[in-house]
Amino acid sequence: MGAAPENTATTEQARAELGAQLLDDYEARVSVRLPRHTRTAARVHKVQATAAFVVIPAWRRGAILARVDIRELITATGLIHQQMKGRELTVEVRLDALLEEELDARGWQLARPSSVDSGSWRRADTSSEPLSWPESA
């Protein structure tokens, strides 16, 4: 019976050491994380009555659709439901998020054309006029 308290003390000491090691590992991982929020591209994949589902290629290689309250997108972009599907947007998200709930998406904006697009969009504003695509040659 005298050995039992010694084993208990050893087990508790081992647990404390393991806990300290895990804490050190966690702190090391946290210190090399990406900045809290990063502005990145997003594309509206599906639109429903109360939610839109967007693809964020920089997060999880675009393999997971993130759910967004449709009212948030309407307020931020000025678009209506019918104009949302397929629309290119930008958003600030936590790219180090493991789950959709951790993305903390904010700052939704319509994507602006870049010089790389070489004029593939004639307009990139929130007017009610449809976008003009370049003439096919």
Q: Which CATH superfamily is domain 38-117 in?
A: Nucleic acid-binding proteins (2.40.50.140)
Percent of the chain having pLDDT more than 90?
46
* Concatenated DSSP letters of 8-19: HHHHHHHHHHHH
pTM of the model: 0.58
pLDDT digits (tens, 9 = 90+) for 51-62: 999 999 999 998
pLDDT score, position 48:
95
Give dist(CA 18, CA 12) in Å, integer.
10
Mean pLDDT, residues 80-99 taken together: 92
Cβ atoms 65, 45 nearer than 8 A: yes
User: What is the residue extent of each domain of the chain?
Assistant: 1-32, 38-117
